[in-house]
Amino acid sequence: MQPKLAAKAVCSNGEIGKVSKVIMDPISHEVSHVVVQENARQKLDRAIPIGEVQEIVSEEEIVLKCSVSEFVQFPLLNRDHYVTTHEVEIAHLEDNIHVTPGEVLVPLPCLERDVPRRTFFNNMTHAIGALIALPLAFPVLKYLMKPMYKPFDNAWFSVGNEKKITKENIGFQFKFTRGFKEAFMPEQQIEKNIWIVRATPEVKKEVYSGKDRKFYDNKGDLLWVNKANSPLIGFSGKCPHLGCGYKWRRTKSNPDGVFICPCHLSLYDESGKVIDGPAPRGLDILPLEVNAAGEIRIIDVEYKAGVKDQIRLL
Amino acid sequence: MNNQPPTTNEPNALEKVVDFVDERVGLKTLQAKMLNEPVPGGSRWAYAFGSVLLFIFILQVVTGILLMFYYVPSTDHAYDSTQYIIHEVEYGWFLLSYHFWGSSAMVVMVFAHMSQVFLWGAYKKPRELIWLVGLALFGIVMAFGFTGYLLPWDQRAYWATVVGVEIMDKTPLIGDFMARFLKGGPTPGQMTLSRFFVIHVMVLPAGLMALAGLHIFLFRKAGPAGPFRGTSAELKAKTDYFFPRQIWKDIVAMASVFLIICSLAFIEPVVLLEQATPDPGDYHPEPEWYFLFLFQLLRLKMFGGEFGQFLGAIAIPGAFMGLLAALPFIDTNPERNIFKRPASLVSWIVIMVGILLFTVSAILNREFLH
């Protein structure tokens, strides 16, 4: 039988108090002490070894071997030297406990008692953890960022002959293949397309407003100038709304055709101006050169989609 | 009667092994704790969504690992290796199609699960943290879808990613960095495929497993919410344990979902478009069906222009997710009965109808383009 918590504790010569806690031996998993709280004075807790218990009369009452005067010689319970069974993981400890309410204690190891620097050790652990993580953060970030920012590729690509453009103010698609070298990969040939319009003077004026269009590299040096009077206007194949590929299509309201992006239905006229849909700016004009034989060359410039201003990406 | 085997209480070899392990690990207690979860008000079909999600995820992991036996995440091999899986490898078409339809099933189930929790008022105190972790899991499921369909490297894959990343680019301050980080450069290419691959097969599964574990742990801590009406005496009378009645319903639901996914994989197996290239040709780019409503939303003039786009692509979805996250802290009224929470009921209907309308109009717009 185990003493029940709050059971009456009786000395050889009279009642002394009640059982307030039970202490378990973490090794044998048996009850090692009962803690008796005195009825008198400050209700002090004293730990009584289980061997000093004369008899467990019932779950309601235990009898101690000592007298009332001897009882006070048992040491007072230092609560800080114990943890409850909920705070410690001792497998199967609770198998032997048949008391549920109140505190069931296990003594702390001697080395853990009165350790004054617990907070210090706690902080040190975090500090050392941070010291391991912080020097890693920068190399990891740089490692992942390696391919993110590349210098602009200002190479010229031949896209075809201007003879293909048979009508004015109509979009003609020119496909070209360009090499693309990425990291460790062998250079890959990828297909791209651009649109070219042979502009009438009105459309030229709409595009250039009479001013030459200058292109700069990332250092700010002048790369190329599209003359305001040159009739061929090349548009990047990337829709300035969200980067899809747009097409030239005839519609009911535009029998000659318009540029239409099938993704989010932005419409642009032959000068690249937005006439409907969600696009924030008109089509992007490319640096374009025509030689005497009519061969068209462009720089494959790409801008960020979805913003009002042209922000160059490639 | 002599040939009858002697009846003894001696445990057989298997029982001895089980006892040996149990003595050291406490499996029986663990099993008892897992199965003996009281379900207030009794088991219901409506509670099966969470278990079904876990089931779908496990099969996504299995089919995903199998696909990686042949798939090569490089721009010059991704498309060919996926075609090889579809056309050459025995049952490759089935495993790939199962994985494809499984991802759609996952999104459908996430919506069903979230709706159930919302309508039952089960996000309220003391279950706020379960709801928050659940929202993070929702984000992970959508990210799985987004990163997954780039991997076959066909035109659909390429353009969905181009547009998706451009949308992310519109996030204030960190947008440009995020977009470049995901693309691994100024334009999509090998680095994009590598990054999406590692995110899809390592980062997101790890995140989902950790958060799903936390989700279930928190759920077990708080206990099931139970029905939204009925006195405590009625609930107590109907209460049963997780096993066997709820597990029965869960396993039937899982089997049904499994059959549906298998049927879809048979009826509508995955077919790749042309290999990805920055020239879309005649292809009209379109995202996966569960992103169609957002896609259609961005076609509206009011979400055009730089600011409109930020509003439609970032601010409104962001604010909506923020609102969902704040929901258990704003809606502190303990009333869980959906019929006594008219604002909640109406907003749920409005959102569902809105998503449906936008999705349908995106599909109708396809006709207009042809």
How far CA A241 is from CA of A264, A290, B150, in Å, comes to 8, 29, 21
In chain A, what residues touch B369 (CB-CB under 8 Å)? 262
Selection from B251, B144, B153 nearest residue B205 by Cα: B144
Mean per-residue pLDDT of chain A: 87
In chain B, what residues touch A243 (CB-CB under 8 Å)? 162-163, 166
Q: Which domains does chain A have, with CATH numbers?
A: 8-109 (2.30.30.240), 156-299 (2.102.10.10)
| pLDDT tens digits along A281-308 | 999 999 999 999 999 999 999 999 988 9
Whether residue A149 lies within 8 A of chain B, CB to CB, comes out as: yes
**Inter-chain residue contact A192 with B285, CB threshold 8 Å:** no
b/e code B206-241 from CB counts within 10 Å (16+ = b): ebbeebbeebeebbeeeebbbbbebeeeebeeeeee
**Inter-chain residue contact B369 with A262, CB threshold 8 Å:** yes
Q: Which residues contact B322 (CB under 8 A, 6 or more apart)?
A: none
Q: Which residues contact A167 (CB under 8 A, 6 or more apart)?
A: A198
Indicate the DSSP class of residue B312. Answer: I
**Inter-chain residue contact A314 with B186, CB threshold 8 Å:** yes
Whether residue A280 lies within 8 A of chain B, CB to CB, comes out as: yes
ipTM (interface pTM): 0.83
Q: E strands, B140-196, where?
A: none
User: For chain B, how long is the longest CA-to-CA vector?
Assistant: 93
Global pTM reads 0.86
Query: Could you give the CA distance from residue A265 to residue A261 in angstroms, rounded to a whole number?
Result: 5
CA of B189: which chain A residue's CA is closest? A182
In chain B, what residues touch A238 (CB-CB under 8 Å)? 278
Asked if A104 contacts A24 with a C-beta cutoff of 8 angstroms, the reply is yes
Among left, alpha and beta (phi > 0; psi -120 to 50; other), residue B121 is: left
Asked if B336 contacts B122 with a C-beta cutoff of 8 angstroms, the reply is yes
How far CA B294 is from CA of B134, B312, B325, B358, in Å, comes to 21, 8, 20, 8
Task: Identify the H or E element spanning A47.
Answer: strand A45-49
Rg (Cα) of chain A, in Å, rounded?
44
**Inter-chain residue contact A264 with B295, CB threshold 8 Å:** yes
Handedness of CA A171, A173, A178, A181 (dihedral sign): positive
What does the pLDDT read at residue B4? 60
The A residues from 55 to 114 touching B (CB cutoff 8 Å) are 91
In chain A, what residues touch B286 (CB-CB under 8 Å)? 263
Say whether A260 sits in a helix, a strand or coil.
strand
Among left, alpha and beta (phi > 0; psi -120 to 50; other), residue B305 is: left
Hey, how many other C-beta atoms are within 10 angstroms of the C-beta on B35? 13
| pLDDT-based confidence at residue A39 (cuts at 50, 70, 90) | confident
Helix axis angle, B175-183 to B155-168, nearest 10°: 150
Token reading at B82: 């996926």
Specify the residue for token string 């009333």: B335
Whether residue A161 lies within 8 A of chain B, CB to CB, comes out as: no
CA of B176: which chain A residue's CA is closest? A304
How far CA B89 is from CA of B82, B102, B252, in Å, comes to 10, 20, 31
**Inter-chain residue contact A191 with B181, CB threshold 8 Å:** no
**Inter-chain residue contact B304 with A245, CB threshold 8 Å:** no
Distance from CA of A38 to the nearest CA of B (A): 39
Distance from CA of A151 to the nearest CA of B (A): 10
What does the pLDDT read at residue A128? 96
Which residue of B76, B158, B277 to mutate against A (max A Cβ within 10 Å)?
A: B277
Q: Which residue has the higher pLDDT, B73 or A95?
A: B73
In chain A, what residues touch B74 (CB-CB under 8 Å)? 185
| pLDDT tens digits along A96-144 | 676 555 567 888 888 878 777 888 989 999 999 999 999 999 999 999 9
> Per-residue pLDDT averaged across A7-17, rounded?
87
Residue in B177, B183, B279 nearest the CB of A192:
B279
Query: Could you give the CA distance from residue B185 to residue B168 in angstroms, rounded to a whole number?
Result: 15
Asked if A8 contacts A38 with a C-beta cutoff of 8 angstroms, the reply is no
* Residue A9 confidence (pLDDT) above 70: yes
In chain A, what residues touch B300 (CB-CB under 8 Å)? 278
Q: Which residues contact B57 (CB under 8 A, 6 or more apart)?
A: B106, B208, B212
CA of A276: which chain B residue's CA is closest? B301
What does the pLDDT read at residue A217? 84
Q: E strands, B120-241, where?
A: 240-241
Token reading at B355: 């998503």
Q: Domain map of chain B by residue range?
A: 43-369
Residue in A149, A185, A306 nearest the CB of B306:
A306
Residue in A148, A183, A278 nearest the CB of B304:
A278
Asked if A176 contacts A190 with a C-beta cutoff of 8 angstroms, the reply is no
End-to-end CA distance of chain A: 84
Superfamily for B43-369? Cytochrome Bc1 Complex; Chain C (1.20.810.10)
Query: Could you give the CA distance from residue A313 to residue A152 in angstroms, rounded to a whole number?
Result: 7
- Classify residue A252 by burial, with Cβ atoms within 10 Å: 0-12, 13-18, 19+: exposed
Query: Could you give the CA distance from residue A63 to residue A50 in angstroms, rounded to a whole number?
Result: 11
**Inter-chain residue contact A278 with B163, CB threshold 8 Å:** no
The torsion angles phi and psi of A173, rounded to 5 degrees, stand at -85, 135
Hey, how many other C-beta atoms are within 10 angstroms of the C-beta on B343? 8
| pLDDT tens digits along A43-57 | 889 999 989 888 888
What does the pLDDT read at residue B282? 81
Handedness of CA B305, B308, B310, B312 (dihedral sign): negative
Distance from CA of A241 to the nearest CA of B (A): 8
Q: Name residue A171's beta-bridge partners.
A: A197
What does the pLDDT read at residue A1? 59
Token reading at B344: 């909640």
* Residue A226 confidence (pLDDT) above 80: yes
Residue in B176, B280, B309 nearest the CB of A244:
B280
Which residue of A144, A182, A275 to mutate against B (max B Cβ within 10 Å)?
A: A182
Taking chain B (370 residues) in runs of 10, the rounded mean pLDDT of each run is 62 92 87 84 93 97 97 95 97 97 96 96 94 97 94 93 90 92 91 96 98 95 88 85 92 97 96 88 85 89 87 92 96 92 95 94 80
Contact residues of B toward A, CB < 8 A: 26, 74-76, 159, 162-163, 166-167, 169-170, 176-177, 180-181, 183-187, 189-191, 277-280, 284-286, 295, 298-301, 303-306, 308-309, 365, 369
What is the number of CB-based contacts under 8 A between chain A and chain B? 121
Selection from B75, B280, B270 nearest residue B162 by Cα: B280
Q: Which residues contact A160 (CB under 8 A, 6 or more apart)?
A: A174, A176, A295, A296
CA of A282: which chain B residue's CA is closest? B305
Selection from B351, B166, B150, B185 nearest residue A264 by Cα: B166
Residue in B162, B189, B299 nearest the CB of A182:
B189
Query: Could you give the CA distance from residue B150 to residue A257 in angstroms, rounded to a whole number?
Result: 33
Among left, alpha and beta (phi > 0; psi -120 to 50; other), residue A41 is: left
Query: Could you give the CA distance from residue A269 to residue A258 in angstroms, rounded to a whole number?
Result: 5
Which residue of A242, A301, A312 to mutate against B (max B Cβ within 10 Å)?
A: A242
How far CA A234 is from CA of A195, A225, A301, B197, in Å, comes to 6, 13, 11, 35
| pLDDT tens digits along A188-200 | 888 899 999 999 9
In chain A, what residues touch B166 (CB-CB under 8 Å)? 242-243, 304-306
Hey, how many other C-beta atoms are within 10 angstroms of the C-beta on B325? 14
| pLDDT tens digits along A243-295 | 899 999 988 888 889 999 988 889 999 999 999 889 999 999 999 999 999 99
